[in-house]
Amino acid sequence: MSENAADNWDLKGRTAVVTGSSSGIGRAIALRLAAAGASVLVHARKNMPAAEVTAAEIRALGVDAHILQADLADEQQRQRLVHEAFEWGEAIDIWINNAGADVLTGDAADWSFEQKLERLWQVDVTATMQLSRIVGEKMKLAGRGVILNMGWDQAEQGMAGDSGEMFGAIKGAIMAFSRSLAQSLAPDVRVNCIAPGWIRTAWGDQASDYWNDRAVGESLVGRWGTPEDVAAMAYFLASDAASFVSGQIMPVNGGFRTGAVRASDSR
């Protein structure tokens, strides 16, 4: 790799915000950006002890870390997050809307379809759109910036069941918005959307045999994805190596195998 090519991957001197970065995919993204030299704002809705651990690991990599707590379902708290983020970083180079409502584990797992849908719309769609528009305007005035949003690999083809209907609509909205925002903010700000497949996060850790077999069977590489797999894509898109990539939906799913294939049938 030439020296110039290596520079494309260097994030030294840049400042990133990763929402929902106290654990899971967000945490992996925050650590990956920090390892490349970026200072990172760690955001959590309520899990501050986990956010402190993430921030400590970031600082151990030799870069700055800052922690902010905000419930993204609340508009005033969204506004405060942006205000305090730009006070801390002065200029934000990378903004990643990773936070999403967890309606599959904990108390929310017993909510009605309508309750889950409302919560997902508030946190995943409304917050992503509002934060992206506010931050995007600031980035465009600065003449540079990268915004990354989170979609879902099966949103465009559909998946049966309550979860498929909910997440298909929610993540499909984010994906469509991201494509349009990229056009609104071009050429100064790049906007892309990552579409993870079956990633082993909190829900995956307790998945039944059926869902485990399906996750493995629907991946051409024959395994669950990891938060680090998603973080690698986020790092690429945030870096200058992706300077000619904007308005795209980038699947991270190991190559999707059409149909519900059981792992035992794919060997």
Confidence of residue 257 (pLDDT cuts 50, 70, 90): confident
Question: Which residues share a beta bridge with 39?
Answer: 15
**pLDDT, mean of residues 112-118:** 94
Phi, psi for 62 (deg, rounded to 5): 90, 15
In the block, residue with structure tokens 């922690």 = 67
Residue-wise burial string across 173-211, b where 16 or more C-beta atoms lie within 10 A, e elsewhere: bbbebbeebbeebeeebbbbbbbbbbbbbebbeebeeee
Q: Residue 163: its pLDDT value, please?
A: 87
- The pLDDT of residue 3 is above 70: no
- The pLDDT of residue 234 is above 80: yes
Domains of the chain by start residue, with CATH: 7-201+224-251 (3.40.50.720)
Strand, coil or helix: what is 130? helix
- The pLDDT of residue 44 is above 60: yes
Q: Residue 104: its pLDDT value, please?
A: 80
How far is Cα 267 from Cα 263, in angstroms, rounded to an integer? Answer: 7
Higher-confidence position of 140 and 157: 140
Which of 23-32, 149-158, 245-254 has the weakest average pLDDT?
Answer: 149-158
How far is Cα 121 from Cα 104, in angstroms, rounded to an integer? Answer: 15
What residue ranges in the chain does DSSP mark as E strands? 15-18, 39-44, 65-69, 94-97, 145-150, 189-196, 249-252
Closest to 200 (Cα-Cα) out of 233, 175, 167, 223: 223
Which of 28-37, 80-89, 197-206, 237-246 has the weakest average pLDDT?
Answer: 197-206
How far is Cα 150 from Cα 80, in angstroms, rounded to an integer? Answer: 22
* Residues 182 and 247 sit within 8 Å (Cβ to Cβ): yes
Q: How far is CA 15 from CA 37, 56, 135, in A?
A: 9, 17, 13
Task: Give every CB contact of residue 155 below 8 A, 6+ residues apart in sequence.
Answer: 167, 168, 171, 172, 175, 195
DSSP of 83-128, one letter per residue? HHHHHHHSS-SEEEE------SSGGGGGS-HHHHHHHHIIIIIIHH
Task: Give every CB contact of residue 255 below 8 A, 6+ residues apart in sequence.
Answer: 219, 220, 221
Q: Residue 69: its pLDDT value, please?
A: 97
Confidence of residue 261 (pLDDT cuts 50, 70, 90): low
In the block, residue with structure tokens 């584990």 = 105
Question: Which residues share a beta bridge with 225?
Answer: 199
Averaged pLDDT of the chain: 92
- pTM value is 0.92
Which of 95-99, 124-128, 163-167, 227-231 has the weakest average pLDDT?
Answer: 163-167
* Residues 218 and 197 sit within 8 Å (Cβ to Cβ): yes
Confidence of residue 266 (pLDDT cuts 50, 70, 90): very low
DSSP 13: T
47-72 residue pLDDT tens: 999 999 999 999 999 999 999 999 99
**pLDDT, mean of residues 96-108:** 90
Q: Between β-strands 189-196 and 249-252, what pairing exists: parallel, antiparallel or unpaired?
A: parallel
**pLDDT, mean of residues 164-176:** 95
Confidence of residue 259 (pLDDT cuts 50, 70, 90): low
Residue-wise burial string across 248-263, b where 16 or more C-beta atoms lie within 10 A, e elsewhere: bbbbbbbebbeeeeeb
176-221 residue pLDDT tens: 999 999 999 999 999 999 999 989 887 777 778 888 888 898 899 9
